[in-house]
Structures are given as C-alpha cells and as structure tokens.
Structure 1
Amino acid sequence: MKYQKLVDVYNQLEENSKRLEKTRILSDFIKELDDETLSKVGLLILGRVFPAWSDKELGIGSKLVMEAVAKAVGTTVDKVEDELREQGDIGLASVNLFSKKSQTTFFSQPLTIKFVFDNLIKLTTISGSKSTSRKISIILELLSQASATEAKYLTRTITEELRIGVGEGIVRDAIAEAFNIDKDIIDRAHMLTNDLALIAVVAKNEGEDGLKKLTLTPGKPVKPMLAQLSEGIEPSIKMMGLAICETKYDGIRLQVHRNKDEINIFTRRLENITEAMPEIVKAVDEYLPHVNYIVEGEVIATRDGKPLSFQNILHRVRRKYNIEEAIENVPLKLFLFDLLYFRKSMIDEPLLKRRKKLEEIVDTSSEEINLSKMVKGTIDNIHEVEELFKTSIEEGHEGIMIKDSKEPYIPGLRGKKMLKYKAEPETLDVVVVGGTHGIGKRKDFIGSYLVALRDENDDLKTVAHVATGLDDDTLKYLTKKMEEYKLSEKGTKVTVEPKIILEIGFSEIVKSPEYETGFSLRFPVVKRVRKDKGLGDIDTVERLISMYK
C-alpha cells in the first residue's frame, strides 16, 4: 500500500479534534488492511516502529533530520533551522521547504508503507564508524522520494513527534469498532500485551476468542498499576475492609522478569535497565526460583542503612560505564511487593493471594533482596498502620501504600484500589513546553518554565509557569536542555519539544482561563527533574480535575 494513503489518514486525524470522529476515520482505514500492513500501521499511527514494551527506539536527533532535509531539498542546514524556528515544527518546516524544492528526483517510485517501515527499522540497526552518514543516507532515500505532505509526517515520525492527536485509547477504540469487538476485551488484551499492532492483527483474524487467549509473557513488560492519593489512613481502610499496607520507598519502581534462563529488569517506563544492575540480576537468580516469573518492587540506594536521595539511584541506574565502581559506591536494595506471574499469570488473583505466594518464593536471607515492610490493616488495628507510617517516615521513606487486598492487578490503571499516603503534599509530573529567559541573577538562564499535562487525546494542555525550587546547577542543566530541544524563539519566549519532565509541588489548584487546562497551580515549585520518566508518564488533565474536586 502506498504511504500516501496513510498520510491522507494522518491529515484527516490531525485536522479533526473530535475523539469519535478520529476513531471512525481510523476504524474505516484499518478494517481494509491486510495483516502485514495492519501490523505496521498499528505502530506507525502512534508514531512508533516498535511496541511500547520494546527497549529499541529510533533515537534520531533533530539535527540529523535537518541535515537530511537540507540535502533532499537542495538547501543549507541553516535555512532548515530558520524554517523550523519560524514554524515551530519539523513537519511544517518540511512542507514549506519541499514545496520550494529545486531538485527533481527522476525515476523515483512512490513510497510504500512497507518501504518506509522497513527503512525506519533499518535506522535502529546502524552503529559504529560512519553510522551518522549511513543514517542520513537512509533518511535521504526516503525524503528524496517523498511529496511535501509525506515529508511532513516522515520527519515527525523519525523525530518521534507525530502530533496527530491520537493516543492508545483512540487506537483501542478504533480496533474495537473496525472488527466489532467489545472494548473491554480490547482493553484487557492491551493491558496484558502492551502491543496494539499484535492486538489489531489478532482481532482481525481471531476475534474475541483469540484476544482472550492473549496473556502476560515474561520478558515483555506491562504498564504498572498506578495509585491515587489517599484521603487518610482510616477512611481508606474503612473503604477497603482489609488492606495491605506497605512502606512507600522513594526509589525506582521495577519489574523483574525471568523467562527460562534469561532475567530482565524494566522500569515503570518499560525501559530495560538489566545491564545497569548486575548485582540485582545475580541476587534474584540466587534467591528466587528458577521458573518463569514477573515480580514487582522498588529499588533504592542506601548508605549506612539509610536510603539515599532519588537522584543518587537515578545516576546509579543511568550509568553505562564503571558499573563495578558504582556498585561499590551506591549499593542497591530491592524491595519486592507484588507477583504478577509465577509459572502462569497471577494478575486476576486477589492481592492477598499474590502477596502470600510472593512471601513463599522469595528467600530474604540476602540484604539485597527484601520484601516490602507490610502490615494487614483493618478498622480494628488502625494504630498498627499509623505506626508503619511513622516508622517509614523516620527511616527516610516517603510514606505508605494502602492496597485493597481483594483486588486483582490491573496494568496501567490509576484507581482507588491502590492508594498512597505521604508526609509531603501530592505532586504532579508535567512536561516543559516553553520557557522565558531570566533577568538579574538569572539572565544567563531560562528562568521560568511553561508546563503542561496530557488530555484524553494525548494532546498537551498548559497548566502553569514554574520558576522556583531551582538551584544554579539545575538551571544550568535545564537551560542546556531547552537549547537542545528548542523549536522557536521570540523575544524572551522559547518553545521546546516536550522532552523535559518535572515533578512539581504546589499549594492549591485554582480555576484559570490563562492556561489551556482551565486551571492553574498556586505557588508551583520544582521538586526534581524526572529523568526516569517520559512523555507517556506525565499526569493527565483528568487527574488534575480529580485532585481539584
């Protein structure tokens, strides 16, 4: 199938803001596709070439794409940069540049979806000497055969900024509509596989029966179940009846997968960090059974028995060199709290049963492998839960988790079945979309940052400017990143690609027409830069409204 047909669908989706209409457009398109094309479109429609659980990525910077665009249209990189600043988007810049294209490619064949997809995959396989020039050659081959509108979406796909207002929810709904399948069945299949391309093909060929057979597979991570804010220990336990209450550790949430002899460790972003944690791999190999499993926990860094700051563990996990030295300087401890798979999927079992089985299979004789500190909370032993909270805070942790003991594990869901109760006020994870140059002491930095949340269509909606909580080192780091991700600049204002994630605190949520969410945050303050999170992890407008209420 010609790539132009997919581009036409991209255009329709981008021009239409209504969710139901987007779903119809996509549904009408995918129901006519053969299996091979459907498996590719299931990824390309989200601006990807790999499923969400894969640790592979295109990883192509905007500078490299600009160089390829310049060669394709016969201009200079400086002129491409000028156009990008003017348009604020590499796709729109490409449309303008290609419409003025001075070069003509003779005997070129129309781009096909398969050719585009296969060449994008090829980009991820290139490394070593001259890899940059080889990658440019592949991108140039695509762009040289592209029309202006094809170039618009090619460049956006390569830079992983498709911008058509389609998230996973719309794709799930479109698959359900196209193949006449109950949305709940699609949702469950997605929770278990995290692979919409696979789901689309199975839905087309095997229907509901095929989708019901899909299950967890050790080695393929699933989105973690998420927590809401607890109103307090007593009302939370009253609501649940019997609650599993655990220390809330301030570390990195992990899934540890064993499939035969292979052990993999994934973050909550589904990033594979196995190589950064050889001592944890060794410990789970020694102290957990040699059968297929998926366990979930939190890893923290410690020194003299006390947890180190989150930044310490982040630097430790991000380290790619001198791992042995890092192991010595920043020792890790893993606290396990859930069991998702043991010889078979366990996510439909109640938490109480999953926890009991976890306790049976984990040998905690090593300091590196632990079970989360836990008490069973009922209305009759509130004091024990309060004591756990107090002890957790005294030991340097964030607070406690309060989980409904009767409930299954629901990947990706944020609900009232799992709550967090912290000593600190609740925070929001936001993405930076713009900024303003500082004055006075901050004249060399971007001093204020415009931040946004995701709406139901995965579009970004602004919610606040934040300028406090930033020391000089953080300002220097953020200003450097803002320059790297800059899309346009007018006067003191800068717009950037949505790449920088901040965790911010605030005193109050108030209604405000100034920002696109319809709300604003009073006295926002940056708590930390979340280098462990990506755009898909930021909080939603829905959650903001829920917190406001």
Structure 2
Amino acid sequence: MKYQKLVDVYEAIAATTKRLEKTAILAEFFKEVDEETLPEVVLMSLGTVFPPWSEEEQGLADKLLMKAIANVVGVSVSNVEDQVREQGDIGGAAEKLYNKKAQTTFFSKPLEIDFVFTNLRKLAKISGDRSTSRKIAIVLELLSSATGTEAKYIARTIIEELRIGVGEGIVRDAISQAFDVEKSIADRAHMLTNDLGLVARVAKEEGEEGLKKLNLSPGKPVKPMLAQLSDGIEVSIEEMGEAICETKYDGIRTQIHKKGDEINLFTRRLENISKAIPEMINYIRNAFPDEDFIAEGEIIATKDNKPISFQYMLQRVRRKYNIEKAIEDVPLKLYLFDLLYFKKPMIDEPLAMRRKALEEIVDTSSEQINLSTMLKARPENIQDAEDLFNESIAEGHEGIMIKNPKEPYIPGIRGKKMLKFKAEPETLDVVVVGGTYGVGKRANFIGSYKVALQDDNEQLKTVAHVATGLDDETLAELTELMNKYKIVSKGTKIEVEPRIILEIAYSEIVKSPEYEAGYSLRFPVVKRIREDKGLRDIDTVDRLKSMFKG
C-alpha cells in the first residue's frame, strides 16, 4: 500500500478537532489495510515505529534530520532552521521547502508504507563506526522519493511527534469501530498486551473471540494500575469496608518480568532499566523461584539503610558508565507489593490472593529484597492504619497506600480501588509546552515554564506558568532540555515539544479563562523533573476538575 494513502489519512485527521471524526477516518482506513501491514499502520498512526515498551529508538538528532532535508531540497541547513522557526516544527518546514523547490528526483519511486516503516526501524539497529552517515543515507533514500506532505510526516515520525491529535484512545476506538468489536473487549485486550498493533490484527482476523484470548505475557510490560488521592484514612477504609494499607515508597515503581532465563525491569513509562541496575537483577533471580512471573514493586535508593532523595534513584537509572561505582555509592532496595503473573495470569484474582501468593514465593532473607510493610485495616482498627502512616513518614517515606483487597488489577486505570494518602499536599504531573527567559542574573536561563494537562481528546491544554522552586542547577538543566526540544522562539519566548514532565505543587485550583484548561493553579512550585514519566503519564483536565474545591 502506498505511503501517500496513509499521509492523506493524516491530513484528513489533522483537519478536524472532533474526536469522533478522527476515529471514523482512522476506522475506515484500517478496514482497507491488509493483515500484515495493519500493525505497522497502527504504530505509525501513533507517530512511532516501535511499541511503547521497546528499548529501540531511531536515534537521529534534529540537526541531522535538518541536514538530510537540506541535502535533498538543495538549501543550506540554516535555511531549514529558519523554516523550522517559521513553521513551528521540522515536518512543516520540510513540506514548505519541498513545495518551494520541487525537483523531479523527489518522485522517482512512490513510497510504500512497509518500505517507510522498515527503513525507519533500521535506524535503531545502526551503531558503531560511520553510524551517522549510514543513518543519514537511509533518511536521504526516503526523503528523495517523498512528496512534500510525505516528507512532512516522515520527519515527524522520526522525531515521534505526528501533531495530528491522535493518541491511544482514538486508535483503540478506531479498531473497535473498524472490526465491529465491543469497545470494552478491545480496551481489555489493549490493557493486557499493551500492543495496539496486535489488537488490531487479532480484531481483523479473529474478532471478539480472538481478542478475549489475549492476556498478559512475561516480557511484555503493561501500564500500571494507578491510584487516586484519598480523602482521608478513616473515610477511605470505611468506604471499602476493609483495606490493605501499606507504606508508600518514594522511588521508581517497577514492573519485574521473568521469561525463561531473562529478567527485565520496566518503569511506569515502560522504559527498560535493567542494564542500569544489574545488581537488582541478581537479587531478584535469587529471591524468586525459577518460573516465569510478573511482579510489581518500588525500588528506592538508600544510605545508612535509610531512604534518600528520589533524585539519586534517577541518577542510578540514567547512568550508562561507571555502573560498578554507582552500585557502591547508591545502594538500592526493592519493596514488592503485587504479583500479576506466576506460571499463569493472576490479575483477575483479588489483591488479597495476589499478595498472599507473592508472600509465599518470595525469599526476603537478603536486605535488598523486601515485601512492602503492610497491614489489614477495618473501621474498628483504623488507628493501626494511622500508626502505619506515622511510622512510614518517620522512616522517610511518602505516606501510605490504601487498597481494596477484593479487587482485581486493572492496568492503566486510575480509580477508587487503590488510593494514596501522603503527608504533603497532592501534586500534579504536567508537561512543559513553552517558557520565557529570565532577567538580570538569570537572563541566560529560561525562568518561567508554561505547562499543560491532557483533555479527553488527548490534546494538551495549558494550565499555568510556573517559575518558583528552581535552583540554578535545575534551571540550567531545564534550559538545556528546552533548547534541545525547541520548536520556535520569538524574543524571550520559546515553544517546545511536549517532552519535559514536571511535578508541581500549588496552593489552590482556581477557575481561569486565561488558560485553555479553564482552570489555573495559584502559587505553583516545581517539586522535581519527572524523568521516570512520559507524556502519557501526565495528569488530565478531568482530574484537575475533580480536585477543584470551588
């Protein structure tokens, strides 16, 4: 199938802001696509060629992409940079330059979807000597055969920013509509496999019955079940009737997969961190039976057997060199709290049963592998839960989790089946979309950051400007990231790709027509950069509304 057909679909979707119209356009296209190409089309509809848990990335810097575009259209790299500033993104710049200087060589051979997909995947496999020139050669081959609109979307797929307003929710609904399967069945299949390409193919080939057979598979991470904010220990336990209360640790939430001899650790954003913390793999191997499993826990950094700042944990995960020294300098501990798979899927079992199974199979004789501190609470022994909260805070942890022991595990869903109660006020995870340079001593730093949340249509809606809580070191780091992801700058203002996630605290939520969310935050303060989270993990406008006290 010609790549131009997919590009026409992109253009049609980008031309409407209505979620239902986007879904219908995509559904009609999915019907036309053959079984082999469909998984590729599904991924490319999301602006990528790799599933969310893949360690592979195309690894082509914006500068190299601009160099390739300049080469094909016969202009200087500075001309391409000027167009990027003018158009607001590298894809729009490519299209404009192609249209200004159309050459017959551009259209020597019509591109096909599989050819584009396969070649973009090749970029991730190239390393070592001359890797840069080999990557550019692949991109040049694609761009030399592309039309202006095709070049626009090839460029955007390389940087994984399609800009057509389509996320997983719309793609999932389009699969359901295209192949006449219940949304709930497609949704569950997606939750259990975290692979929309697979869901689409099975829906097309086998329908609902095929989707019902899909389940968890060790080695393929799923989105974590998410917690809602508790209104208070007493009220939460009374609402549940009985609850499992456990210490809430301030580390990196980790999904542990063992398949055969291989053990992999995934963060909540499905990033594989196994190579960064190899010692933890050994601890886990010794603590579990030699069976396939999926378990969940929190890894924290410690010093003198006490938890230390989350930032140290991030340093461990980010480190690529001198890992042996890091193992010595920043010792880690794992606190396990759930078991999703052991010889077979367990997520439909109640939490109480999953926890019991976890306790039965894990050897906690080493200091590094622990079960989360837990107790069972009912309305008549609420004091025990409050004591656990106070003890957890005293030991340097965040607070407690309050979980319904009768409930199954539901990947990717935030609800009242799992609550969190922390000592500090609730924070929001937001994405940076722009900023403003400071004045005086901070004139070289971006001092104010425009941040956004997601709405129902997975569109970003601005909610605040935040300029406090940032020391010079953090400002320097953020400014470097902002320049890395810069789309366009005008005077002291800068717009960026939505890549930087911040956790922010605030004093109050207020209604505000000034921001697209319809609400704003009074006195927002940056708590930390959340490198363990991605765009899919940020908070929503709906959640903001639910927290509004007005």
TM-score of the superposed pair, with normalisation by structure 2:
0.98
Secondary structure, counterpart of 2:32 in structure 1: coil
After superposition, the C-alpha distances for 1:292-317 in whole angstroms (9 at most, x for unaligned) are 10000000011112101000011012
Distance change >3 Å, CA 316–CA 106, structure 1 → 2: closer
Corresponding residue number in structure 2 for 1:60: 60
1:106 deviation in Å?
Answer: 7.2
Residue 245 of structure 2 corresponds to residue 245 of structure 1 = yes
Shifted more, 480-489 versus 150-159: the winner is 480-489
3-state SS of 2:419 partner: strand
The match for 2:84 is 84
- Map 1:33-432 to 2 at 5 A: 33-101=33-101, 103-105=103-105, 108-432=108-432
Pairwise CA distance, 1:62? 1.2
**Alpha-carbon distance in 1 for matches of 2:406, 2:218:** 24
Pairs aligned (count): 549
8 Å Cα contact 1:453/1:541 also seen in 2: yes
1:476-487 superposed matches below 5 A: 476-487=476-487
Contact 1:468-1:524 at 8 Å conserved across structures: yes
Where does residue 28 of structure 2 map in the other structure? 28
CA contact (8 A) 2:106 2:144 kept: no
Distance 1:403 1:467 in 2: 36
Deviation at 1:523, TM superposition (A): 0.2
Residues 231-281 of structure 1, C-alpha deviations (whole Å, 9 max, x = no match): 000110011111110000000000111111111111111111111122111
SS at match of 1:35: coil
Q: Which amino acid aligns with 2:304?
A: D
- CA distance in 2 between partners of 1:258 and 1:433 (Å): 38
What SS does the corresponding residue of 1:141 show, helix, strand or coil?
helix
Larger mean CA deviation between 141-150 and 482-491 belongs to 482-491
Partner of 2:497: 497
Q: Aligned AA for 2:126?
A: I
Q: Do the aligned partners of 1:74 and 1:103 also contact (CA within 8 Å) in 2?
A: no
| Structure 2: runs of 5+ lacking an equivalent | none
Counterpart Cα distance in 1 of 2:289 and 2:547: 42
- Using the TM superposition, give the Cα deviation of residue 496 of structure 1 relative to its aligned residue in structure 2, in angstroms: 1.1
Q: Which runs of 4+ in 1 moved over 3 A?
A: none
Q: Which secondary structure state, in structure 2, belongs to the residue aligned with residue 315 of structure 1?
A: helix
1:7-29 CA distance string (max 9 Å, x none): 00000111111111111111111
Match of 2:460 in 1: 460
Moved more, 432-441 or 243-252: 432-441
Q: Does 1:434 align with 2:434?
A: yes
Q: Render the CA deviation track for 1:19-64: whole Å, top value 9, x for unaligned.
A: 1111111111101211111111011000111112222222322111
In 2, Cα distance between equivalents of 1:55 and 1:224: 18
Which consecutive unaligned segments of at least 5 residues does structure 1 have?
Answer: none
Secondary structure at the aligned position of 1:228 is classed as strand
- Deviation of 1:538 after TM superposition, in Å, equals 1.2
1:86 & 1:18 partners in 2: Cα distance? 27
Contact 1:55 1:270 in 2 (8 A): no
Q: How big is the shift at 1:482?
A: 1.3
Secondary structure at the counterpart of residue 263 of structure 2: strand
- Write the letter of the residue equivalent to 2:378: T
Query: Once the two structures are aligned, what percentage of the paired residues are identical?
Result: 69
Q: Check 1:107–1:537 CA distance in 2 against 1; reply closer, same or farther (3 A cut).
A: closer
Distance across 2 between alignment mates of 1:29 and 1:399: 48
Measured in 2, the distance between the counterparts of 1:102 and 1:213 equals: 50
One-letter identity of the residue aligned with 2:296: E
Return the letter of the residue paired with 1:544: L
Q: Is the 8 A contact 1:334 1:369 kept in 2?
A: yes
What per-residue deviation string (whole Å, max 9, x for no partner) do you get for residues 184-229 of structure 1?
1001000000000000010011111111111100010000000010
Paired residue secondary structure (2:36): helix
Query: Equivalents in 1 of 2:248, 2:548: separation in Å?
Result: 24
Q: Any residues of structure 2 matched to 1:517-528 within 5 Å, and which?
A: 517-528=517-528
Q: Residues 432-488 of structure 1: CA distance to partner in whole angstroms, max 9, x if unpaired? A: 111111112321211101011112222211110000000011111111111221111
**8 Å Cα contact 1:53/1:195 also seen in 2:** no
Distance of aligned partners of 1:107 and 1:186 in 2 relative to their CA distance in 1, 3 Å threshold: closer
Query: Is residue 107–residue 144 contact of structure 2 (8 Å, CA) maintained in 1?
Result: no
Secondary structure at the residue paired with 1:220?
A: coil
Superimposed CA distance per residue, residues 49-83 of structure 1 (whole angstroms, 9 cap, x where no aligned partner): 11122222223221111111101100011010011
Asked if the contact 2:107/2:147 (under 8 Å) is kept, the reply is no
Inter-partner Cα distance in structure 2 for 1:292 and 1:183: 30
The answer on whether the counterparts of 1:94 and 1:152 sit within 8 Å (CA) in structure 2 is yes
Q: C-alpha distance in 1, partners of 2:107/2:58?
A: 29
**Equivalent position amino acid for 1:149 in 2:** T
- State the distance in 2 between where 1:454 and 1:349 align: 32
Secondary structure of 1:265's partner?
strand
Cα distance in 2 for partners of 1:42, 1:490 equals 36
Opposite residue 221 of structure 1, the aligned amino acid is P
Aligned Cα RMSD in Å?
A: 1.0
* Counterpart code for 1:17: T
Distance 1:167 1:317 in 2: 27
Between the aligned partners of 1:444 and 1:204, the Cα distance in structure 2 is 54
Task: Work out the CA distance in 2 between the residues paired with 1:497 and 1:416.
Answer: 33
Q: Is the 8 A contact 1:502 1:529 kept in 2?
A: yes
CA distance in 2, matches of 1:153, 1:459: 19
- The secondary structure found in structure 2 opposite 1:36 is coil
Q: Give CA-to-partner distance per residue, 1:497-536, whole Å, 9 cap, x none.
A: 1111111000111111111111110000000011121212
8 Å contact 1:74–1:102 — kept in the other structure?
no
Distance in 1 (alpha carbons) for counterparts of 2:461 and 2:131 = 37
2: distance between equivalents of 1:421 and 1:112?
Answer: 52
Q: CA contact under 8 A between 2:463 and 2:520: conserved in structure 1?
A: yes
Q: Which moved more, 1:45-54 or 1:190-199?
A: 45-54
Shift of 1:107: 7.1
- Quick one: distance in 1 between partners of 2:453 and 2:346? 33
- Secondary structure at the aligned position of 1:105 is classed as helix
Aligned: 1:545 with 2:548: no
Tell me the TM-score normalised to structure 1 length. 0.99
Distance 1:15 1:238 in 2: 50
2:513 maps to which residue? 513
Q: Matches of 2:350 and 2:291 in 1, distance apart?
A: 21
- Report the AA paired with residue 510 of structure 1: V
Give the counterpart letter for 2:123 in structure 1: L
The worse-fitting range, judged by mean Cα deviation, of 55-64 and 398-407 is 55-64
